[in-house]
Every structure is written in structure tokens, then in C-alpha cells.
């Protein structure tokens, strides 16, 4: 009989290669866990913490933050000022169709982004902001006539800002500023305004012409009064002595012009000369 082989049933010790693989796996898990334990919230953002999909009360600020790995997720929400610009159509108090171009600046309440995320979601601008702007403009536009919307624009803007601010604050948003850049009216209304302006200009011109005629008439009356008064005063100053003096002055002028010769043709009037005056 041959020699029997003895089989060693004891487990063999792991090789160095096996140890290395195990170490790398463990190290990888540690690194992944470590990396999953921290999150960097970008500037101008806040972190909404979700734990198994449920929104948590804690809100992460900007910078490096710790979270429970594999259990918590962080959704970053921007809290910088945003702008919503749109055209809204509404009816004025005098039933004119008005298209308003408005720009709205707003931002999310940094301390309530988790509530906004939970109640509204991330599409808050389409679901809340834009409808609120349209509803507010319709409500305020209906208070004023089309003409007042233009002439009282600062007042209109203030009312829109006040009402819109209340609506947005209900959903954890803050209104910063609104700017109404333009009011557009129907072509029929624009034509009516143009005709009204033409009529007002014509009325103004007619009124100015009437005032000018009245002034000229008054000037003529005053001038006639002055002339009549002047004639009256002159008549009062005419006396027999003044008349005689004027006759003597006329005779003296005639003598000064006479050259001493009589006219060759008779039948004409010979200047009367007082001989006694010549001697």
C-alpha cells in the first residue's frame, strides 16, 4: 500500500494582496462617507435640508455645512433679488383696455425657504409671482381712468407695490421694487386723445385771438378817449385874442415871402397890404 496523503483542513491565512484590497475598499467607503457628510452652500443661496424626502426645520447658510450621509439631501435655493418683467392687460375705470409693462424686483425670505419649498416648490415664479402681478394690476387699474393712469403714475405704482407686497409676503417672498415702464392703450383711444388735444389747441388759439381782439378794442377806445379829451382841451384854450394873433402871424409870413412886385395878370386876388404897417 502506498503512503496516505494527509490533507490540512485549517483555513489558510489571507494573502498580502487580499489585505490590500480589503483596505482599499474600507478606505473608499470612509472617503465616500466623509465626502457625503459635508455640503458647500453657494453664495446668495440657502440650503433646504431633506431627510428621506421630508423637509427639515434647519436651514443651511452659505459655506461649508455638515449633513448626515446617505440620509439627508440638500437643495440649494437662491435668495438673491430676482426680476419678473411682463405685460399685463386690464380694463380701466372708464372701460379702456390698458396693456401695462411692469418690472418687479423681489427675493425669497432667507429664513423661510424651507416653508416655501414645502408649500409651493421651486416653480414659485410661475405659480405665485406672475399670477399675483396680473391680479394686482387688474385690481389697481380698475380704480383709475385711462387718463389718470398716466397723470397719476407715481400714485398707481405705490398702490400696486402695496397690494403686491401683501400677496407675496403670504408665500414667504419680499417685494423690493416695481417699475411701470409703459401704458399702452387701444388705437381708438389714442385717436380720441389726439383729437381732444387738437380741439384743446384750437380752443386755446381762439381764446388767445379773442383776448387779443378785446385788448386791441380797448386800446382803440382809450386812444379815441384821449384824442377827444385833447380836442376838448384845445377848444377850451381858443380865445378871440388867440385867433387875432394867428391872423397877424399869417400876414407877417406872407409879407416875408413877397418880393415887392405885383402880378402882371389882373383879375387875380392881390395880397392885401396895410400901408400903415409898412411905413
Asked whether 147 and 95 are in contact (CB, 8 A), the reply is no
Share of the chain above pLDDT 90, in %: 38
Task: Please tell me the pTM assigned to this model.
Answer: 0.59
Domain boundaries, given as residue ranges, for the chain:
24-78, 82-185
pLDDT confidence band for 221 (50 / 70 / 90)? confident
CATH number of 82-185: 3.30.479.30
Lowest mean pLDDT among 111-115, 122-126, 215-219, 223-227: 223-227
As given in the structure block, the three cell numbers for residue 253 are 409870413
Tens digits of residue pLDDT in 131-151: 999 999 999 999 999 889 988
Kindly report the average pLDDT of the chain as a whole number. 80
Out of 24-28, 29-33, 174-178, 210-214, give the one with best mean pLDDT: 174-178
Q: What is the pLDDT of residues 34-57, one digit of tens each?
A: 667 788 999 999 999 999 989 999
Amino acid at each position: 500500500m502506498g503512503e496516505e496523503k494527509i490533507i490540512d483542513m485549517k483555513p489558510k491565512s489571507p494573502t498580502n494582496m487580499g489585505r490590500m484590497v480589503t483596505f482599499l475598499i474600507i478606505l473608499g467607503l470612509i472617503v465616500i462617507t466623509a465626502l457625503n457628510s459635508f455640503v458647500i452652500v453657494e453664495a446668495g443661496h440657502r440650503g433646504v435640508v431633506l431627510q428621506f424626502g421630508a423637509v427639515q426645520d434647519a436651514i443651511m447658510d452659505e459655506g461649508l455645512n455638515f449633513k448626515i450621509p446617505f440620509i439627508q439631501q440638500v437643495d440649494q435655493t437662491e435668495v438673491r433679488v430676482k426680476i419678473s418683467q411682463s405685460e399685463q392687460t386690464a380694463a380701466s375705470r372708464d372701460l379702456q383696455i390698458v396693456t401695462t409693462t411692469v418690472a418687479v424686483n423681489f427675493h425669497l425670505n432667507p429664513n423661510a425657504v424651507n416653508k416655501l419649498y414645502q408649500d409651493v416648490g421651486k416653480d414659485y415664479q410661475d405659480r405665485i409671482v406672475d399670477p399675483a402681478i396680473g391680479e394686482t394690476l387688474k385690481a389697481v387699474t380698475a380704480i383709475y381712468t385711462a387718463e389718470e393712469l398716466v397723470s397719476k403714475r407715481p400714485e398707481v405704482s405705490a398702490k400696486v407695490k402695496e397690494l403686491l407686497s401683501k400677496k407675496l409676503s403670504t408665500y414667504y417672498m419680499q417685494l423690493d421694487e416695481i417699475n411701470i415702464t409703459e401704458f399702452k392703450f387701444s388705437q381708438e383711444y389714442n385717436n380720441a386723445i389726439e383729437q381732444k388735444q387738437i380741439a384743446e389747441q384750437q380752443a386755446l388759439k381762439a381764446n388767445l385771438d379773442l383776448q387779443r381782439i378785446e385788448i386791441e378794442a380797448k386800446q382803440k377806445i382809450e386812444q379815441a378817449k384821449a384824442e377827444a379829451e385833447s380836442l376838448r382841451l384845445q377848444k377850451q384854450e381858443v380865445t378871440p385874442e388867440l385867433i387875432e394873433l394867428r391872423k397877424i402871424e399869417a400876414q407877417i409870413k406872407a409879407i416875408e415871402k413877397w418880393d415887392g412886385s405885383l402880378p402882371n395878370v389882373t383879375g387875380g386876388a392881390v395880397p392885401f397890404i396895410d400901408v400903415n404897417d409898412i411905413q
